[in-house]
C-alpha cells in the first residue's frame, strides 16, 4: 500500500510539472508565433533582396535555436519590418511580408533614423542598432548610410554599438503585441503559481492521507500484532477452531498445559481422546456441542482433561462461537484455565484452616490496629467469648486488666519493632468472670517492612502449671521419702560414733565410719539426682539478679576451705578487676563453681596447684580453672558431661563423686546462654573453661530451684 | 545449772523423732514430741513453757509445718514469739522462703547437717536470746 502511494505521489508531481511546462511552452510558442520573420534593408535592390533572404534564413535558424541571438534578432527583424513601414510612409512604401525591397532615398532615411532614435529612447533596453559599413561603392547607399550615421552621431551616439559597422535599422515596438505578450506572460505566471500551489497542496493532501492511511494501517497492524502476542503468551489455554471443531490455532499455554506439541494438534478435532479431551462422559460433549453449535451460545463450565503424560487435570472452560455476518458459526474460541494449582492451594488452605481451627492453642488474628478478623474455637473456649462477639472489634477489649503496665508497654515496644512478643504467665478473665492462667505469644506478620497482621497464640497453662506442680510435688515427696531414711542412718551413726549410746571399739568405729560415709555419698547422690530431675523436667526456677561472679567464686572458695585443706592443695585465684554484673541466678551459678572447683580439688593429689582465672571478653565473661590433677583419659573425654559418668582413672582414687556434677554444670551454663568445655591430659592435669554472656539468664517461673 | 530449755519437736517419722529426742536430752534439753499439728497445738496450750520449736515440714494428718507456723504466728496467740527451727528434708526453695517469711527463725536441711551441729546452734541461739 505504501509503495503505491509513493508512486502515485510521484506521478502526481510529475504530471503537474509536465502540465505546467507544456502550458508554458504553448503560451510562449503562441506569443512567439506571431512574430514575423521578414526583413528589409535599405540597400539597392539586389543586395537588399539577398540580404533579406539571408537574414530571414539566419533569423529563422536562430529563432529555432539560440535564445539570446533570437532575442537580438527578433529586434533586428522588427527593426527591418518597421523600416519597411516607415520607408513606405516616408515616401517609400514598406513591405512587411515578402521579399520586396524598396530603395530608400536620402530624404527618407532621416525620419527613419529619428523614429528609431525615438523608439530607442522609449524602449532603451529593447533597441539595438547595428550599423554596418557598406561594402559597395554605390553612391546612394553611401550617402544614406553616412546621413544616418551623421544624425545618430550627433543626436544619439549611445545607439552606436560598434563603430565600424553600420546597418541602419529600425525599431518599432509592436506595443500592442508586446503588452499583449506581457499580459499573457503574467497570466501564465499566475496560472503557473496557482497550478503549482494547487499541485503542492494536492500532493500534501495525498501524502498526508497516505501517511494517515499508512499510520492507520500500521496502527492496525500493530494492534493485530499486539492481539496476536497477547493471545499467544496468555497464561490460559486458548484454541481457535473452525465451525467443525478442527483446530486452526493454539497458543503456547495449550502446549504447556496439555503437554502436546503445537504441531501435533493442528488440523485435529478438539475434544477427542487423541489429544487432551475425551475424559468426560459422552453426554457432556453432546450437550456442549449442542450449545455452542446449534444454540450458538457460549459454554462456561468445568472439564476434566488428560495431559500427554497421562495425568488428568481439572480445568475451567469457556467456549465461544464467533458468528459471521449472516449469523452462522465461523469459528469457535475455546479458553481453558488449568485449575490444578488453584485446587492445590485450596486444599492447602483448607488444611491450614483445619489445623488452626482444631489447634489446642487459642489463635486470634487481627489487623495492625488490633481489629480482630478471626478467632478459632479454642480461643472461644478459653475466653468464653464467641466469634460474633469478638470479630470486628478491637482486641484490647479482651484484656482482663490483669496485665501490668510495664508488661503492656513491653508488649507494644516489641510489636512496634515488628518483633515477636512472648508474655509471662498472667491471669486472664473469661466472659463469665472466672479466671485462668495463660501465656500469650504475639507474632507480627510483616510484608515488605509493614505489619499486615498480628497472630496471637494463647496457651491455657493452667493445666501445664498443674502438671508442673504435680511433677514438683512428686519430686518433693520423692526427695523427702528418700532423704528420711538417709537422715535417720546419718544421725544414728553419728550418735553411735560420738559415743552417745555407749563405747565403740576401734573396729566398730571403723565399720561405722564406712556406714556413715557410704550414707553421705547416698545423700549427695540423691541431691544431685533431684537437681537433675528438676533440670530435665523443666521445672527449674531461674531468678536472675545482677551478679558479680568474682564474689560468688570467692565465696565458694571459702566454703570449700575444709576440703582444700584436707586435700593439701594450693588454690590461686586471679580475678578480672572490672568484672561487671550480669543477670544471673546466683544460686544456680554458684553450683557451677562449686562443682568445678570441688572437682579440681578432689581430683588433684596432695601438693598440687589449682589456678582460677576470670577475665572479660568481648560479649561475656570467661572463667577457667586449671589443676595439676589426674586428668581425663582421652577416650573417655566425650562422655564427661553425661549423666552418672565417672572416668575410670578416678574411680579407684580416694575421691567421691556422683557422676552428675558436670551434667548439672553444663545444664546451668547452657541456661545462661554460655558454653563449657575442657582440655585435659591424663596424669598431667585438666583445665575447664566456662563462658557466660552478659545477656545472662532469662527469668523462668519454675516451681523449684536446685538444692 | 541453768534451767533447761524445753523443746517441742514436731516430727512424724518415729526413728528420727527418737534420735532427735535422744540427742537433745543428752544435750540437756527437755523434749516433747508431737507427730501432727493438732497434737502440737494441744501441747502448746497445755505446757507452760516452750522455749523453741523443732519443726519438720511433712507431718501426720492434713496440716503441715507451714500451717502450724501460720497458726502459731496469729496475732492473738501467746506463743507468737516462740522461735521456730525448721528442720526438714523438703526440697522446695519456695517452702524455705515461705517459712522464713512467715516468721520461722531458721531452716535446716536434715541431710546437710550433723545432728550435733544443729543442736549446738540451737543452744547458742537460746543462750544468746537470754
Closest CA to A156 of A201, A115, A98, A105: A115
> What pLDDT sits at residue A53?
58
Share of chain A above pLDDT 90, in %: 32
Q: Does A530 touch chain B (CB under 8 A)?
A: yes
Burial code (b: 16+ CB inside 10 Å, e: under 16) for B73-111 equals: beeeeebeebbbbbbbbbbbbebbebbeebebbebbbbb
Backbone φ and ψ of B50, nearest 5°: -120, 120
Architecture of A540-693 per CATH?
2-Layer Sandwich (3.30)
Q: Which three cell numbers stand for residue A556?
A: 565458694
Could you tell me if A179 and A144 are in contact, meaning their C-beta atoms sit under 8 angstroms apart?
no
Are A484 and B13 in contact (CB < 8 Å)? yes
Cα gap A601→A633, rounded to integer Å: 18
Distances (CA, A) of A141 to A106, A270, A480, A672: 9, 115, 177, 150
Instruction: Quote the mean pLDDT of chain A.
Output: 79
Number of Cβ within 10 Å of residue A100's Cβ equals 16
> What pLDDT sits at residue A684?
92
Backbone φ and ψ of A179, nearest 5°: -65, -35
- Residue A130 DSSP one-character state: -
- A6-201 has which CATH code? 1.20.1330
Region label for A608, one of left (φ > 0), alpha (ψ between -120 and 50) or beta (otherwise): beta
Q: Does A235 touch chain B (CB under 8 A)?
A: no
Q: Which three cell numbers stand for residue B34?
A: 508431737
pLDDT tens by residue, B100-120 = 999 899 999 898 899 999 999
Q: Which of A475, A476, A494 is facing B114, going by the closest CB pair? A: A494
Cα gap A15→A73, rounded to integer Å: 35
pLDDT tens by residue, A30-64 = 655 443 323 333 333 444 454 455 555 555 655 56
Give me the residue spans of the domains in chain B.
6-129
Give me the residue spans of the domains in chain A.
6-201, 236-344, 359-538, 540-693
pLDDT tens by residue, A635-661 = 999 999 988 888 888 887 767 788 889
DSSP readout, A235-258?
SSEEEEEETT-BEEEE-HHHHHHH
Q: Give the CATH superfamily of B6-129.
A: Response regulator (3.40.50.2300)
- Residue B60 DSSP one-character state: B
Q: Which residue has the higher pLDDT, A172 or A200?
A: A200
A487 chain-B contacts, CB cut-off 8 A: 16, 89, 110-111
pLDDT tens by residue, A672-688 = 889 999 999 999 999 99
Q: Which three cell numbers stand for residue A566?
A: 584436707
Q: Does A486 touch chain B (CB under 8 A)?
A: yes
Q: Does B124 touch chain A (CB under 8 A)?
A: no
Closest CA to A129 of A116, A115, A147: A116
pLDDT tens by residue, A555-594 = 999 989 988 999 999 999 999 888 888 888 888 899 999 9
Q: Which three cell numbers stand for residue A180?
A: 499583449
> What pLDDT sits at residue A307?
92
How distant is the Cα of A627 from the closest Cα of chain B, in angstroms?
28
A523 chain-B contacts, CB cut-off 8 A: 111-112
Q: Does A562 touch chain B (CB under 8 A)?
A: no
Fold of A359-538: Beta-Lactamase (3.30.450)
B11 chain-A contacts, CB cut-off 8 A: none
Sheet holding A299-306, edge to edge: A247-250, A237-242, A329-338, A312-323, A299-306
Residue A104 has pLDDT above 80, yes or no: no
Q: Does A488 touch chain B (CB under 8 A)?
A: yes
Q: Computed from CA positions of residues A99, A102, A108, A109, in that sequence, does the dihedral angle turn out positive or negative?
A: positive
pLDDT tens by residue, B48-76 = 888 999 999 988 988 889 999 998 888 77
- Residue A290 DSSP one-character state: I
Q: Which of B58, B91, B116 is facing A707, going by the closest CB pair? A: B91
CB-count exposure of residue B48 (10 Å: 0-12, 13-18, 19+) = exposed
> What pLDDT sits at residue B44?
84
Cα gap A698→A209, rounded to integer Å: 84
Place of cell 497464561: A235
Could you tell me if A574 and A614 are in contact, meaning their C-beta atoms sit under 8 angstroms apart?
yes
Cα-only R_g, chain A: 65
> What pLDDT sits at residue A102?
39
pLDDT tens by residue, A242-281 = 999 999 999 999 999 999 998 988 889 988 788 888 889 9
Strand partners, B8: B32, B53
Domain pair A6-201 / A359-538, same fold: no
How distant is the Cα of A562 from the closest Cα of chain B, in angstroms?
15
B116 chain-A contacts, CB cut-off 8 A: 494, 498
Number of Cβ within 10 Å of residue A502's Cβ equals 7
Q: C-alpha angle A482/A485/A489, rounded to 5°? A: 135
Could you tell me if A210 and A225 are in contact, meaning their C-beta atoms sit under 8 angstroms apart?
no
Helix (H, G, I), strand (E, B) or coil at A460: strand
Q: Give the CATH superfamily of A236-344.
A: PAS domain (3.30.450.20)
* Residues written for chain B: 130
Would you place residue A213 in the very low, low, confident or very high pLDDT band (cuts 50, 70, 90)? confident
Amino acid at each position: 500500500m505504501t509503495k503505491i502511494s509513493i508512486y502515485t505521489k510521484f506521478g502526481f508531481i510529475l504530471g503537474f510539472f509536465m502540465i505546467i511546462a507544456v502550458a508554458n511552452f504553448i503560451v510562449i510558442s503562441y506569443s512567439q508565433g506571431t512574430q514575423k520573420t521578414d526583413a528589409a534593408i535599405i540597400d539597392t535592390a539586389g543586395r537588399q533582396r539577398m540580404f533579406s533572404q539571408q537574414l530571414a534564413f539566419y533569423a529563422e535558424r536562430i529563432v529555432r535555436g539560440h535564445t539570446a541571438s533570437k532575442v537580438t534578432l527578433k529586434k533586428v527583424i522588427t527593426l527591418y519590418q518597421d523600416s519597411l513601414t516607415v520607408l513606405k510612409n516616408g515616401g517609400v512604401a514598406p513591405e512587411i511580408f515578402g521579399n520586396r525591397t524598396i530603395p530608400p532615398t536620402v530624404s527618407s532615411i532621416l525620419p527613419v533614423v529619428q523614429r528609431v532614435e525615438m523608439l530607442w529612447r522609449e524602449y532603451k533596453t529593447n533597441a539595438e542598432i547595428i550599423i554596418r559599413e557598406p561594402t559597395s561603392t554605390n553612391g546612394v547607399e553611401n550617402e544614406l548610410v553616412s546621413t544616418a550615421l551623421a544624425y545618430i552621431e550627433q543626436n544619439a551616439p549611445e545607439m552606436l554599438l560598434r563603430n565600424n559597422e553600420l546597418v541602419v535599422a529600425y525599431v518599432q515596438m509592436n506595443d500592442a503585441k508586446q503588452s499583449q505578450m506581457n499580459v499573457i506572460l503574467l497570466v501564465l505566471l499566475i496560472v503557473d503559481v496557482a497550478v503549482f500551489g494547487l499541485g503542492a497542496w494536492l500532493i500534501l493532501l495525498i501524502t498526508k492521507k497516505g501517511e494517515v492511511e499508512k499510520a492507520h494501517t500500521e496502527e492496525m497492524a500493530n494492534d493485530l500484532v499486539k492481539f496476536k502476542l497477547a493471545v499467544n503468551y496468555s497464561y490460559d489455554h486458548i484454541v481457535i477452531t473452525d465451525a467443525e471443531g478442527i483446530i486452526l490455532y493454539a497458543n503456547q499455554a495449550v502446549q504447556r498445559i496439555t503437554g502436546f506439541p503445537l504441531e501435533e494438534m493442528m488440523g485435529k478435532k478438539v475434544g477427542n481422546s487423541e489429544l487432551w479431551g475425551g475424559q468426560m462422559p459422552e453426554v457432556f460433549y453432546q450437550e456442549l456441542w449442542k450449545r455452542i453449535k446449534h444454540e450458538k451460545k457460549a459454554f462456561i463450565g468445568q472439564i476434566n482433561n488428560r495431559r500427554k503424560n497421562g495425568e488428568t487435570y481439572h480445568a475451567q472452560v469457556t467456549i465461544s462461537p464467533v458468528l459471521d455476518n449472516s449469523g452462522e458459526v465461523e469459528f469457535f474460541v475455546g479458553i481453558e484455565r488449568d485449575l490444578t494449582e488453584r485446587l492445590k492451594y485450596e486444599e492447602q488452605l483448607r488444611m491450614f484452616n483445619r489445623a488452626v481451627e482444631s489447634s489446642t492453642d487459642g489463635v486470634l488474628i487481627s489487623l495492625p490496629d488490633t481489629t480482630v478478623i478471626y478467632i478459632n474455637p479454642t480461643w472461644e473456649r478459653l475466653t468464653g467469648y464467641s466469634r460474633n462477639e469478638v470479630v470486628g472489634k478491637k482486641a484490647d477489649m479482651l484484656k482482663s486488666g490483669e496485665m501490668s503496665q510495664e508488661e503492656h508497654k513491653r508488649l507494644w515496644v516489641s510489636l512496634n519493632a515488628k518483633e515477636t512478643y512472648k508474655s509471662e504467665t498472667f491471669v486472664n478473665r473469661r466472659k463469665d468472670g472466672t479466671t485462668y492462667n495463660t501465656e500469650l505469644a504475639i507474632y507480627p506478620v510483616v510484608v515488605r517492612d509493614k505489619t499486615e497482621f498480628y497472630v496471637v497464640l494463647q496457651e491455657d497453662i493452667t493445666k501445664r502449671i498443674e502438671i508442673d506442680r504435680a511433677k514438683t510435688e512428686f519430686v518433693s515427696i520423692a526427695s523427702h521419702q528418700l532423704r528420711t531414711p538417709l537422715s535417720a542412718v546419718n544421725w544414728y551413726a553419728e550418735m553411735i560414733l560420738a559415743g552417745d549410746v555407749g563405747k565403740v571399739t576401734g573396729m566398730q568405729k571403723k565399720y561405722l565410719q564406712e556406714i556413715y560415709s557410704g550414707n553421705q555419698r547416698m545423700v549427695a547422690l540423691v541431691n544431685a539426682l533431684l537437681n537433675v530431675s528438676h533440670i530435665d523436667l523443666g521445672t527449674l526456677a531461674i531468678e536472675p539478679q545482677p551478679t558479680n561472679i568474682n564474689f560468688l567464686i570467692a565465696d565458694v572458695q571459702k566454703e570449700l576451705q575444709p576440703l582444700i585443706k584436707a586435700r593439701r592443695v594450693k588454690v590461686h585465684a586471679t580475678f578480672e578487676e572490672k568484672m561487671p554484673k550480669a543477670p544471673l541466678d546466683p544460686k544456680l551459678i554458684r553450683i557451677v563453681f562449686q562443682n568445678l572447683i570441688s572437682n579440681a580439688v578432689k581430683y588433684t593429689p596432695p601438693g598440687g596447684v589449682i589456678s582460677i582465672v576470670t577475665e572479660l571478653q568481648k560479649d561475656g565473661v570467661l572463667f577457667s580453672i586449671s589443676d595439676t590433677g589426674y586428668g581425663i583419659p582421652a577416650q573417655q573425654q566425650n562422655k564427661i558431661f553425661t549423666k552418672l559418668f565417672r572416668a575410670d582413672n578416678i574411680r579407684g582414687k580416694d575421691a567421691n563423686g556422683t557422676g552428675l556434677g558436670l551434667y548439672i554444670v553444663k545444664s546451668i551454663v547452657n541456661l545462661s546462654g554460655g558454653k563449657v568445655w575442657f582440655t585435659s591430659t591424663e596424669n598431667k592435669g585438666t583445665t575447664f573453661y566456662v563462658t557466660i554472656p552478659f545477656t545472662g539468664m532469662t527469668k523462668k517461673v519454675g516451681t523449684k530451684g536446685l538444692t | 545449772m541453768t534451767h533447761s530449755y524445753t523443746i517441742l519437736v514436731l516430727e512424724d517419722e518415729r526413728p528420727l523423732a527418737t534420735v532427735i529426742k535422744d540427742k537433745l536430752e543428752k544435750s540437756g534439753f527437755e523434749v516433747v514430741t508431737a507427730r501432727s499439728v493438732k497434737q502440737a497445738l494441744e501441747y502448746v496450750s497445755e505446757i507452760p513453757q516452750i522455749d523453741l520449736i523443732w519443726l519438720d515440714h511433712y507431718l501426720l494428718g492434713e496440716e503441715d509445718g507451714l500451717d502450724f507456723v501460720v497458726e502459731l504466728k496469729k496475732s492473738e496467740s501467746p506463743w507468737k514469739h516462740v522461735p521456730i527451727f525448721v528442720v526438714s528434708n523438703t526440697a522446695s526453695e519456695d517452702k524455705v522462703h515461705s517459712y522464713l517469711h512467715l516468721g520461722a527463725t531458721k531452716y535446716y536441711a536434715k541431710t546437710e547437717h550433723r545432728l550435733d551441729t544443729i543442736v549446738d546452734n540451737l543452744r547458742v541461739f537460746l543462750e544468746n536470746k537470754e
